[in-house]
């Protein structure tokens, strides 16, 4: 599915490493440029290209992340709409078939919410038995 978000510690470590790499490279280029001032344009050009590559990579990853989120939303929307059509059609069925169709659709929607949406844990839905009372096994599992 989707990748997990890196921890704050990992992001701080990565930022610290990037800081020290840029610091060392910048200091080294300053030492070289002190002896060769005509190379200053090359230093600025390399810095500009490096910044452009970092921004390009960041935007590419951000676009991919949002595209994945939109795909999950589209999939869930289609799935839930299909199940709601089944529920709506169940209104015209005889009572015994209606309860079975409703229970099956509710279980499928619950499954989709638990399994397809990352990072979301929904409590199990209590089902209603034929007499209209909550079933005992579902109550025990959800507690």
Q: Is 128 helix (H, G, I), strand (E, B) or coil?
A: strand
Let me know if 14 is exposed, middle or buried by CB neighbors in 10 A (0-12, 13-18, 19+).
Answer: exposed
Determine the pLDDT at residue 53.
92
The percentage of the chain sitting over the pLDDT mark of 70, rounded to a whole number, equals: 79
Higher pLDDT residue, 73 or 139? 73
Closest CA to 113 of 68, 59, 76: 76
What is the residue-averaged pLDDT of the chain? 77
Q: How far apart are CA 121 and CA 30, in angstroms?
A: 53
Q: Number of H helices and number of E strands within the chain? A: 4, 0
Q: What would you report as the CA-atom Rg of the chain, rounded to the nearest whole angstrom?
A: 28
Q: Confidence class of residue 113 from pLDDT cuts 50, 70 and 90?
A: confident
Residues facing 71 on adjacent strands: none
Q: CA 118, 119, 120: angle at the middle one, nearest 5?
A: 95
Residues facing 128 on adjacent strands: 134
Determine the pLDDT at residue 9.
92
Let me know if 109 is exposed, middle or buried by CB neighbors in 10 A (0-12, 13-18, 19+).
Answer: buried
- Per-residue pLDDT reduced to its tens digit, 25-49: 888 888 888 888 888 888 888 888 9
Q: Confidence class of residue 130 from pLDDT cuts 50, 70 and 90?
A: very low
pTM: 0.53
């Amino acid at each position: 599915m989707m990748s997990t978000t890196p921890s704050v510690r990992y992001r701080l470590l990565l930022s610290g490493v990037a800081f020290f790499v840029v610091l060392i490279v910048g200091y080294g280029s300053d030492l070289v440029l002190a002896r060769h001032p005509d190379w200053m344009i090359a230093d600025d050009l390399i810095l500009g290209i490096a910044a452009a590559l970092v921004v390009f990579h960041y935007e590419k990853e951000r676009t991919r992340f949002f595209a994945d989120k939109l795909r999950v939303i589209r999939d869930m929307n289609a799935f839930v709409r299909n199940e709601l059509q089944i529920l709506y059609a169940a209104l015209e069925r005889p009572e015994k078939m209606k309860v079975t169709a409703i229970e099956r659709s509710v279980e499928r929607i619950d499954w989709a919410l638990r399994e397809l949406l990352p990072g979301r844990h929904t409590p199990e839905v209590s089902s209603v038995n034929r007499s209209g009372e909550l079933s005992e096994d579902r109550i025990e599992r959800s507690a």
